[in-house]
Structure 1
Amino acid sequence: MSNFNQALENMDEDVVRTFGEPLLYTKQGAEPLETMGIVDYDVIMNGEYAQVQETETMITLLVKEVGTPDRGDTIQNADNQQWIVDRPVNNDRHLVQVAVISS
């Protein structure tokens, strides 16, 4: 890994640790994993041709801690609010952002 990529990975981790919250991530069929993540509520997503808009909850996690989330994995915060991963939205190999639905 280049120094530049390592610097970006360190920066991503600092951002998640600073602005994130403790989460419990559970991959289907695996033990729960304590991690940190950033929960964004009411993110506006554009549909095809940007004619339809909807709001979703997005959660950003560190790839090195959770890998690539799959549909059906669960995430829970300290207030016992629980979400189910609907789909990965973005993955730059440092951070992964997933769209979630409340369970």
Structure 2
Amino acid sequence: MRRLPREITPGAAARRTLLADCLIALVLALAAIALAAGIGVVGFAALLVLLVLVLWIAVEAGVRRVLRRRRRSAPPVRRRGRRAQVEDETGLDPLREEPTADQPR
């Protein structure tokens, strides 16, 4: 392998320095482009995930709001106790042994 000559003119030294600076700048530019592209891809994926999460939360909130409005506007459900259900099914009052007024004795 051959060495570069040591005794060179100032112009040649300036050109070599310029060449070295350009090569270093090229390496740095390629590294920056590679990193920026990687950051861009990761950032784009992160934006997609963020968009999906925001849509999911919005849909859940909308469903909750609709269900809450339906519950508020619906008439209240009347619940009857067990005694009334037994009376309806058998015609007998569960607390008394005798038939009610509806049934003959």
Which TM-score band applies after superposition, normalised by the shorter structure?
under 0.3
Higher helix proportion, which one?
2
TM-score for the superposition, normalised by structure 2: 0.20
Q: Which protein, 1 or 2, shows the higher relative CO under an 8 Å CA cutoff with sep ≥ 6?
A: 1
CA radius of gyration, larger in = 2
Structure number with the higher strand fraction is: 1
